[in-house]
Amino acid sequence: MDLVQYREGKVEVLVPNPEESWKSADVPVFFNPRAARVNRDVSVLVLSVLRPKDVLDGMTASGIRGVRYFVESSVPEVYFNDLNGDALELARRNADKYGVMGTFFNEDFNVLCHTKRFWAVDLDPFGSPAPFVWSAARAVRSGGYLLVSATDTRPLSGASPKQALAKYGTILRKPEWYPELMARVLYFLVFHAAAIHGKGIEPVLAFAYEHHVRVIARLREKPSLITKNAKQIGFYEVDGKQYGPIWAGPLQDHDVAGEALERWDSDYSKASRKILELAAVEPDVVGYYNVHFWAEKLKLKQIPKFDSVLNALREQGYVAERVLWSDKGIKTDADEETFAEVLRRAAKD
């Protein structure tokens, strides 16, 4: 294997040559230095706030995630697992370099999660996490955390409704705010998997970057939380028709996002800072308006300035913020008619 030293966050580890290692799943050990870096940066900063007693890096590949959780998030004990023996060997080398309190497994994720319990489980598969979420939710101790990534953006965004129904048990259509929909479908999956094992969920953080979507949730064995969660499952409308079910509750724990942001420094990607900044203030509203989509729909001659739109909405007493899901999005509790009127006026200014 062609290995190189690679610096990310506050560690320098050996990884397969990044020029080759992320282009397909068919490499000796997988490594993605781009979108996955942002996913790792945000996860590391969030776990540094949550401070679980241990974490399972359940699909570890090079081990970079688990090593970073030990070094940067101060998680005292890390369990590394990968079905690929070469990956595990590399993870062990990288963990040894930093003296990680590590335990190493070369098992199928589902098998491992049916025999052990952890305070945090990180699930980072190729494509969809659906085949693994049930066992992951079982393995998280009450009060612990589940971190789930997905890269199958077509079904999650409503672009492949049949696949979405098959994998996620929900009927979708792509809305203008589809990047956020992906997280709401993932939380719905996590809710269902956790509820089956008698656990409720408390969302901590949700974000998307390029083709990576990630949700982080606290799981608690608490029947009243499951009942509360059931009321947070809802539907959304496109062209007057209802779609779902999806998670319609809050996506972010604003305090955790704010504290994670305080720990950000220049060793982390700028994209991770932006995600945390916006997560810390994201209004608890389902969906957002895509300003470009609306400018076209209303046949406006120019795209209105974002700040004028935000200010006009706030002056009328609505909440209004940019979103982490898209540079073109505005999240507000104003209805469509009000939003359209504000856009028309802002386009004239």
Chain residues in the site for ligand SAM (CB under 6 A):
30-31, 36, 40, 59-62, 64-65, 81-84, 87, 108-109, 124-126
Minimum Å gap between C-beta 159 and ligand SAM is 21
CB of 29 or CB of 195, closer to ligand SAM: 29
Minimum Å gap between C-beta 318 and ligand SAM is 39
Give the residue ranges of DSSP H helices in the chain.
35-50, 64-71, 85-97, 109-113, 130-139, 153-157, 161-168, 178-196, 223-231, 254-262, 270-279, 291-297, 306-315, 336-348
Minimum Å gap between C-beta 112 and ligand SAM is 8
Q: Is 348 exposed, middle or buried (0-12, 13-18, 19+ CB in 10 A)?
A: exposed
CB of 36 or CB of 50, closer to ligand SAM: 36
Minimum Å gap between C-beta 102 and ligand SAM is 15
Ranked by CB distance to ligand SAM, the top (closest) residue is 59
Minimum Å gap between C-beta 210 and ligand SAM is 14
Minimum Å gap between C-beta 309 and ligand SAM is 37
Minimum Å gap between C-beta 9 and ligand SAM is 12
Residues paired with residue 123 on neighbouring β-strands, in sequence order: 148
Show Cβ contacts of residue 213 under 8 Å, excluding neighbours closer than 6 positions.
Answer: 149, 150, 151, 153, 156, 179, 182, 183, 186, 206, 207
The SS3 call for residue 266 is coil
CB of 132 or CB of 178, closer to ligand SAM: 132
CB of 89 or CB of 202, closer to ligand SAM: 89
Q: Is 68 exposed, middle or buried (0-12, 13-18, 19+ CB in 10 A)?
A: buried
- The tokens for 291 are 């300003």
CB of 125 or CB of 179, closer to ligand SAM: 125
The SS3 call for residue 102 is strand
CB of 36 or CB of 310, closer to ligand SAM: 36
CB of 145 or CB of 289, closer to ligand SAM: 145
Closest CA to 203 of 27, 80, 342, 46: 46
The SS3 call for residue 9 is coil
